[in-house]
Amino acid sequence: MDTNTLKLLVKLTQEGQLSSLEELLTLGGSAAVQTVSSQHLGRSGDTLLHYAARHGHLDVVEYLVKRVGMDVEVYNNDYKRPLHEAASMSHWACVSYLLREGAEVDSLKKADWTPLMMACTRRNLDVIQELLCHGADPALRNKDGWNSFHIACREGDPLVVQHLLVVAPDVWRTDSKTRRTPLHTAAMHGCEEVVRILLERCGYTPDSTDSCGVTPFMDAIRNGHISVARLLLEKHQASPTAADIIGAHPVHQVAVTGQEEALRFLVRDLNVDVNQRATDIQLTALHYTAKEGHTSTIKTLLELGADLHVRDKRGRTALHMACIGQHADAARTLLQLGLKDSEDASGTTARQLAKKPDVVRVFECGLPHPS
């Protein structure tokens, strides 16, 4: 079968044009049917059954299985079966049909993802229920240690999360290979209603940490989810000043991500010290945000009382950090705000740390020289 004919078959399958697809295969005779039944196409190695399931064309799926004789367990280069495709795109009718035809409900694709995990990336409870009714195991974990509940908590559909807790009450008792819990995941993605459910129905320890020492509160606040952070404070006794394994506190993590409203919440509402030090080298939020090049956040920190002239353990100012990060705008802003270039404990000036041409030019435009 030539390449153009195969491309046409794929197009007809994707568009759900069953009659045209059937007519073309009939014209090709038994040889064409035999070729199509085992033909893997493109870089992905998809078959026509993968395309039909992905696009939700039940009549085409039935035709390919019953008339063409395609195997419901056929897999592509990523080991995805048609059931993975149908589940990932929330096509309930195709999912139901493939299961009735004997598709393995917990088949694994690359990275050990099951069809239920794929379904949980969407918010279609009917598809999830169909898989569960056929014996799907929500506790199975992929290569990263995530189970279906982790994924559902990331997507944030309260009905899906509640249903999984009903059918598998202990499914929340899991963490990933980096020790992240579903509560971390929901907090990070700002899924407030899901966080509320987890706090009410699950026994998470306050300020549980992942392998980096990050708590759910840190995940929420550094991503700007203030309402979630507030919920964790009120309902879970989260600490706004806990430190991760490198000694960074929420105020430092928020400075890294440049979440200015979250900074105001920490400093003004929770009375967190804006000049709080982190790690053995005594970095402040101003150091962190300068290294990331968040020019607007630098100004916000100063409004909140940050010390412009503070130095870390190595004698470096925020200007040194801006130049380490090669951020011209941040360096320029700090100089304009009155921070002069100076030597750190090793005798190195910020100017000497500038490597990129636009950062070097900041110091060649008549701005202050080392004091």
Query: What percent of the chain lies above the pLDDT cut of 70?
Result: 98
Phi, psi of 118, rounded to the nearest 5 degrees: -60, -40
Is the overall model pTM greater than 0.85, yes or no? yes
pLDDT band at 367 (very low <50, low <70, confident <90, very high): low
> Is the backbone of residue 157 left (phi > 0), alpha (psi -120 to 50) or beta?
beta
pLDDT, mean over the chain: 96
Distance CA 22, CA 62 (A): 12
- If one counts every other C-beta atom within 10 angstroms of the C-beta of residue 116, the result is 26
Phi, psi of 349, rounded to the nearest 5 degrees: -90, 160
pLDDT band at 34 (very low <50, low <70, confident <90, very high): confident
Query: What percent of the chain lies above the pLDDT cut of 90?
Result: 92
Closest residue by Cα to residue 107 from 117, 93, 92, 122:
117
pLDDT by residue (tens digit) across 48-68? 999 999 999 999 999 999 999
Distance CA 167, CA 137 (A): 10
Domains and CATH numbers, the chain: 1-106 (1.25.40.20), 138-239 (1.25.40.20), 244-371 (1.25.40.20)
Q: DSSP secondary-structure letter at 278? A: B
